[in-house]
A and B are shown apart, each in its own frame.
Chain A
Amino acid sequence: MKALMFGWEFPPHILGGLGTASYGLTKGMWENGDMDITFVIPKPWGDEPKDFANIIGANNTPVAWRDVQWDYVQSRIGNVMDPQMYFDLRNHIYGDFNYMSTNDLGCIEFSGRYPENLLEEINNYSIVAGVIARTVDCDIIHSHDWLTYPAGIHAKQVTGKPLVIHVHATDFDRSRGNVNPTVFSIEKDGMNNADHIITVSNLTRRTVIEKYGISPDKVTTVHNAVEPLNEELLNLEAPPGKTSKVITFLGRITMQKGPEYFVEAAAQVLHKVNNAQFVMAGSGDMMDKMIRLAAKRDIADRFHFTGFLKGKQVYEMLAASDVYIMPSVSEPFGISPLEAMQMGVPSIISKQSGCAEILDNVIKIDYWDTNAMADAIYSIIKYPAMFNELREQGLAEVNQITWDKAGAKVINIYRNLINR
């Protein structure tokens, strides 16, 4: 089966959970065999893994004819794309886009991030999608998150193949209800045009059905999974000389993640327990407010801010932690508790996160219930049996949550659509 996927991020250059999930799912589907996946991203860097998906960069796809030679193309973009692909794509230019700002290869530039002119970039992405859809043969089209819905719709119109959209988050999650009308309309348009909608949790599925008015039989939940960690990360150890218990919050310090509840729970625990330290790792627009709040609660001496952590630093932080907390107010899935569990760290998550639907060996609390959060923290750092049980059972559980199972579910959805 041939699938044409549109995504926005792909490891190793990722900005959030979307890239990790897109990668994991693609790989998981490939592991099921008989899948030929073409994955389109705005701007490849050349170091993306290519063994299970054919990656096409939107910024290397010509939309205006340029008379260029093979060698020139090879020297310009050979590191990210086979020149033959460039010429194939060039043969399928469907309109005159010379009025747009294009480069020497007739391609539109993309930042591949979330710039100020995001809407313009989304539109350009959809123009490019027209060329790719005419070039690449496919049985099904799959769009990851709202940024790529217009591209998916365009590809569907060109090819007449069924469109699956994958809802990794909705604007209701990102804004706590204050939805941006433009984003909403793009999302809604994508959902209306989709032949099937995949959501990452039942929580998101309900949002799609209730807030966007989509028929329930068109929406299926496929929960995310995690990639197994490599030996190097698993063998990371807590720094020697660590004497106190470390409780960690790891994520963007924004309204969606509920950082203030973490501080309040910390205050309760610290007033009763001496040998504990709380760490808020990450950055975001609420960071200063949190620093002030910690000072006001008189716990600043044992409440630390690390700033933004990336790559291996994240795992070093987890290796040093005794408890991981994700008090998100609204989390479509939330992959980081699974990563904490992989590192053997007992996790406390809010019932309002999608991953709570599939995890048993974690402690689930309401994000606003700081009392319950404090109780759970206290119990884990005070009672060794609690720590060990959560650690071992959590490890065993998370190792069962693999992408090939999620991939199989997606393939099944494809089959139903194609044979319809």
Chain B
Amino acid sequence: MKAICFYFQIHQPFRLKHYRFFDIGNDHYYYDDFADDDIITRIAQRSYLPANEMLLDMIRENGKKFKVAFSISGTALEQLEQYVPEFIDSMKELAATGCVEFLSETYAHSLSSIYDPDEFVAQVKAHDEKIFQLFGQRPKVFRNTELIYDDDIASMVYAMGFKAAITADAKHVLGWRSPNFLYSSASAPKLKLLLKNGKLSDDISFRFSNPEWASYPLTADKYINWINELPKEEQLVNLFMNYDAFGELQPRESGIFEFMKALPRFAAEHDIQFWTPSEVVSKFKPVAELAVPYPMSWTDEARDTSAWLGNTLQQEAVRKLYSIGERVRLCTDRRIKQDWNYLQASDHFFYMSTKHNDDGSVHSHYSPYDSPYTAFTNYMNVLSDFMTRVEEQYPASIDNEELNSLLLTIRNQEQEIEKLHREVEMMRNNIVNDTTGDFPIDEEPAPVKEEKPAEEPVAEPEKKPAPKKKAPAKKPAAKKTATKKAPAKKTK
């Protein structure tokens, strides 16, 4: 008996528009909506939608024996909701079959796992919440951005309550070991690890339609035989790939859809089953612990983080971005929060790579820029503007420590208020129960009401789309709430 575990990644970033240094301070809208719309619609039409159709067929035909897992970033979900809502419906239909597992990841497909643990936790929660809202599932298995993984990340992931993580099969980590087993993390031994089978995954996603490949043409029969011929003890084959492998990387006319549809039939002949990551974790036992001191990923020849952090441009941009992480989390402005998410997408840093070999051509293939230097310039201009906006909310003159203590005061006071509320509520109930018809009841609710209107003006101006109007309207509102909640802030 063997098991195939399929997992597909869907991610799209919010691409930045051409943002000149003249725009810094003047224009606070950063995105190239046209390009995003164009790209996601094209990929959805050519790949995501027909592939979903294919999966539905396969699940129906095979009596729920065919199972897959998905990892969809929050930014991709937002774009799909906006531009291709029919895909969300189709995904919901898939989810309803019970044969699809959704994986957890960072909302923005970000590098926060390496740079900002607090942000990392916040984003994972935000993403899982979004998945739950849309598909009614709470993810149990974690998959980081581009399968980036190391021991530190493992500890964080385990602490968040995940039972397993998905990662890559970097040669420098695995060495002689095979990815076809379940492993566990060295830093958090209870966290199981599923490793990508690079060769068999890439056979489908990259080599399938390449006529120069020695094994061309690849048939389902041949492919299942390869899996069947693996040593007996290697029972697990993890096939992880980008979802656009179907229809986009491998065009429809290459026969990729028919290939997939034929897989279950041949698999059944050899008693090969299809499992979701959760099933794998519950049915297999880990064979060994895997220590990963330095981050690895599934990208580029090096299988490390050099695709995003390989040169000084990338390092500088990421460092600058996360230097204001703490500040942004203090902000209440919803537009700032949104931009913060979008700016974190790892893609922005991917475009800045200056690799020139085969990897370089992959980078430039996905990049909307003609050179890494333009990518950096554009991103930094946007980031400069963004940082000024954050600065306007919380001036850099207050250092983080002071801000933290203020924040703490605010939080404590919030809790205090909450506690008092409950007390008031309780006492009022007591009064209602004990002495009916007394005057204090009418006077008591007043403070409760007072709190609510104070909250509302915060949310309202944020909904206004016009950025120019918003900025001035925003500040007093934010200040009002802040001062109300935290008198300490007045001292500033």
Contacts and interface: CB of A to CB of B under 8 A. Distances in A.
Top 7 nearest A-B pairs (CB, nearest first) are A385-B316, A379-B377, A378-B21, A389-B312, A389-B313, A385-B312, A383-B380
A390 interface: yes
B206 interface: no
13 contacts: A272-B21, A363-B374, A375-B381, A376-B373, A378-B381, A379-B376, A382-B380, A383-B316, A383-B377, A383-B380, A384-B316, A385-B315, A386-B376
A389 B376 CA distance: 11
Contact of A385 (B21, B356, B376, B384): B376
B22 interface: yes
A164 B39 CA distance: 51
Nearest to A268: B22
B42 interface: no
Given A272-B21, A383-B316, A389 B377 contact: no
Interface string B367-408: 000110110110011001000000000000000000000000
B210 interface: no
A364 interface: yes
A388 interface: yes
Given A360-B354, A388-B312, A389-B312, A382 B373 contact: no
Nearest to B319: A385
A383 B20 CA distance: 14
Instruction: Tell me if A's interface is mostly helix, strand, loop or mixed.
Output: helix
B265 to A, nearest CB: 50
A193 interface: no
A392 B316 CA distance: 15
B21 A389 contact: no
Interface string B317-338: 1000000000000000000000
B413 interface: no
Interface of A: 268, 272, 360-361, 363-364, 371-372, 374-376, 378-379, 382-386, 388-390, 392-393
A335 to B, nearest CB: 22
B412 interface: no
B27 to A, nearest CB: 14
A363 B20 CA distance: 16
A386 B356 contact: no
A386 B20 contact: no
A374 B373 contact: no
Contacts of A361: 354
Contacts of A371: 20
Contact of A382 (B20, B21, B356, B374): B21
B97 interface: no
B22 A272 contact: yes
A386 B371 contact: no
Contact of B380 (A363, A379, A393): A379
Contacts of A375: 20-21, 374, 377, 381
Nearest to A388: B312
A347 to B, nearest CB: 11
A386 B376 CA distance: 8
Contacts of A378: 21, 377, 381
Contacts of B415: none
Contacts of B356: 360
B59 to A, nearest CB: 48
B254 interface: no
A272 B311 CA distance: 28
Given A375-B377, A392-B312, 10 more contacts: A268-B22, A272-B22, A375-B374, A375-B381, A376-B374, A376-B377, A378-B381, A383-B316, A385-B315, A388-B312
Contact of A379 (B22, B311, B354, B373): B373
A211 B315 CA distance: 47
B339 to A, nearest CB: 19
Nearest to B311: A389
A390 B376 CA distance: 12
Interface string B444-470: 000000000000000000000000000
Contacts of B384: 382
B381 to A, nearest CB: 8
Contacts of A384: 316
Interface string B1-27: 000000000000000000011100000
Question: Which of A361, A374, A389, A393 is the most central at the interface, judged by chain B CB atoms within 10 Å of its CB?
Answer: A389
A386 B373 contact: yes
B377 A386 contact: yes
A10 to B, nearest CB: 35
Contacts of B313: 385-386, 389
A390 B373 contact: yes
A378 B380 CA distance: 11
Contact of B21 (A374, A388, A393): A374
A374 B23 CA distance: 13
Contacts of A360: 354, 356
A18 to B, nearest CB: 30
Nearest to A376: B377
B371 A363 contact: yes
